[in-house]
Amino acid sequence: MTIFSAIILGIIEGLTEFLPVSSTGHLILASRLLELSETSFIKSFNIIIQLGAILAVLVLYWRRLLVNPRILGRVVAAFLPTAVVGLLVYPLVKSYLLDNVTVVIWALLLGGLFLIFFEKKFGEKPEALADLEKLSWTQSVLIGLAQSVAIIPGVSRSAATIVVGLALGLSRAAVVEFSFLLAIPTLAAATGLDLIKSSANFTTDQIWLLVVGLVTSFVVAILAIKTFLAYVRQNDFELFGLYRVILALIFMVVFFL
């Protein structure tokens, strides 16, 4: 991996982490296009640079969590199902799924079709809940359970939480904000677990590559979060579903034909 590759992957992570398009799926596909070897470090890099996105959310939302313990409690409740699932299947995911282009492409395609169907058939309810302080414990846990499915590369953590949140009666803006907040413990846990298991094997050069990827993803994520939240206040998620379908079809041609 070169500095250029680290910057490209950092940009992709920052742009896609909070969009319903699967940042992990994009990183896997981009790594393949950049002809990066499918090494343990590349897999760790794609996980650890999520820390930049976490820091972006903390910079923008730390007051929201610290000042409002009710919202903090809901975030913790939503995180617990993901934590359990993540600990149980982490070895399987890193060994067999984090470089599986076929899984990513099909997850992008099917997830995109479902997102389009959901928006056309259901979408945001007229009486949608806009205040996260009124989110129930049950709703929180169900959103967390949905997020745990996104451990499959290409599914998208953001898409899973958004769809279930809308189905449970949240407004688009509210569920997107909750998805941002839920990213903090979720991505921190994934990054921390990988660092514990892998950091002892990193060389000095690899550590510098991680720093470059982290800084890049942080800067880009700050801009992406603000832009995405402004977008969803006026629009639905159908465009993202269409993007996923087109991207999946393109990569089917690139890799399989």
Please report, in tens digits, the pLDDT of each residue of the chain (257 residues total).
Answer: 899 999 999 999 999 999 999 998 999 999 989 988 878 888 889 889 999 998 999 999 888 887 788 999 999 999 998 888 877 876 777 676 777 889 999 999 999 999 999 998 888 888 889 888 889 999 999 999 998 888 888 899 899 999 999 999 999 999 999 998 998 888 888 888 888 888 788 899 999 999 999 999 999 999 999 899 889 888 899 999 999 999 999 999 988 87
Max Cα distance, the chain (Å): 54
Helices 40-48, 204-232: crossing angle, 10 deg rounding = 40
Encoded tokens for 110? 């099917």
Q: What domain count does the chain have?
A: 1
Residue 70: which residues within 8 A CB-CB, separation 6 or more? Answer: 133
Instruction: State if pTM tops 0.75.
Output: yes
Using DSSP's 3-state secondary structure scheme, residue 21 falls into coil
- Residue 170 has phi, psi (to 5 degrees) of -85, 155
User: Which residues span the domain enclosing 108?
Assistant: 3-256
Q: How far is CA 42 from CA 87, 88, 166, 173, 200, in A?
A: 20, 22, 35, 34, 15
**At 203, is the secondary structure helix, strand, or coil?**
coil
